[in-house]
Amino acid sequence: MEPLKVHKQKLKILVTGGAGYIGSHTVVELAKAGFEPVIVDDFSNSHPYVLQGIEKIIGYEPITYHMNCRNLDDLDQIAKEHDDIKGLVHFAAYKLVGESVKEPIKYYENNLDSNISVTKFCLKNGIRSVVFSSSCTVYGLPDKLPVSEAAPLKEAESPYGRTKQIGEYFFEDCIKALHPLNVISLRYFNPIGADPSSEIGELPIGIPNNLVPYITQTGAGLRELLTVFGDDYSTPDGTCVRDYIHVSDLAQAHIAALSKLLSDQSTEPKIEYFNIGTGRGYSVLEIIRAFEKVSGKSLPHVIGPRRKGDVPMIYADPSKALKDLGWRAEYNIEEALSHAWKWEQRLPELNLKQTG
């Protein structure tokens, strides 16, 4: 979809969690599409370097508020300084599945509270257009693959997943109450990779939980070897299958969603859901082989036990996003892994090498 005709007017978009992994890539795409992103981030899970990285790509440092979006007084301050915010992209949330199992209070408190404050902020300031950062985890263990938006939300595998389900129900209830909001909930599959410029990318704190940063850190010699969590699933090669999507493609989906919201003339409150994936699943072993191909390195790995809470196989039916948003993933798996690998190799030079 052609990014909005109005983009020459530099519409201001508030991006909570805009210094995070997906947030920062979305800020870049917003700026490239002619929007003016305004970041709110408490930097609890992001590095201040990200702002420099963004600046290197877009040519200026985006307006950034170092604050927690759960604090309405702080948000009011932003509204005072910018009375022309036209849309909100709400990323700010905790996202570690394993941690959420151990610390449910932390997850419920942060992820649900932030939905409430940003919504109050939007209602108070007449901001109708909201993109909510959701996840394919809302489907739980799907009955049918590829999973489409029509699939029922089954029991979530973790408190994190539940907070995303509740987030969607929360917005749905606000719509039913006729609050003047137009919401698009994007259900992300597995984001990987980095901006092709290698100026920004994923910066996991401590030992990575996710597959691709663990692989790139192992490739870089920071980790001894990768453990494949289980090879006895009923999948083609016994390892779990996921729909890995390049983070810049994912970022582009936000531009498409915002463009749809901002050009919608109707004043009727509504919420829509979209799967944001490629439609193609890859097993853990296929990802290892693809990484070996793009990096020219052999990746030391062992097969270990299953990880609790892992769904054996999930991949998207992304056809609704193509039909209604004009969006589809452009990068293939090798490009995504190659960008992740290039980024990993840049970290020492940027003094960002993370260990732990």
Q: Does 97 bind ligand UFG (CB under 6 A)?
A: yes
Among positions 56, 179, 297, 307, the unique one binding ligand UFG when judged by CB under 6 A: 307
- Binding part of the chain for ligand UFG, among 17-25, 57-65, 207-215, 337-345 by CB under 6 A, reads 207-215
Nearer to ligand UFG among residue 199 and residue 202 (C-beta):
202
Among positions 214, 273, 291, 315, the unique one binding ligand UFG when judged by CB under 6 A: 214
Q: Does 151 bind ligand UFG (CB under 6 A)?
A: no
Active site residue 160: yes
Q: Does 324 bind ligand UFG (CB under 6 A)?
A: no
β-pairing, 282-283 with 85-90?
A: unpaired
Instruction: Name 313's Cβ contacts closer than 8 Å, sequence gap at least 6.
Output: 145, 233, 235, 240, 241, 281
- Binding part of the chain for ligand UFG, among 12-20, 30-38, 130-138, 256-264 by CB under 6 A, reads 130-138
Q: What is the DSSP letter of 307?
A: P
What burial class does residue 306 get, using C-beta atoms within 10 Å of its C-beta: 0-12 exposed, 13-18 middle, 19+ buried?
Answer: middle
Counting residues that bind ligand UFG (by CB under 6 A) gives: 20
Q: Does 15 bind ligand UFG (CB under 6 A)?
A: no
Among positions 93, 122, 228, 313, the unique one binding ligand UFG when judged by CB under 6 A: 228
238: left (phi over 0), alpha (psi -120 to 50) or beta: left
Report d(CA 113, CA 110) in Å as an integer.
5
- Binding part of the chain for ligand UFG, among 38-46, 48-56, 60-68, 129-137 by CB under 6 A, reads 129-137
Do residues 244 and 190 make contact, with C-beta atoms less than 8 angstroms apart?
A: yes
Q: Does 135 bind ligand UFG (CB under 6 A)?
A: yes
Would you state the torsion angle of the CA atoms of residues 330, 334, 336, 341, taken in this order, to the nearest 10 degrees? -160
Cα angle 213, 217, 221; round to 5: 170
Interface ranges with ligand UFG (CB under 6 A): 95, 97, 135-137, 190, 209-211, 214, 226-229, 240, 242, 284, 307, 310, 314
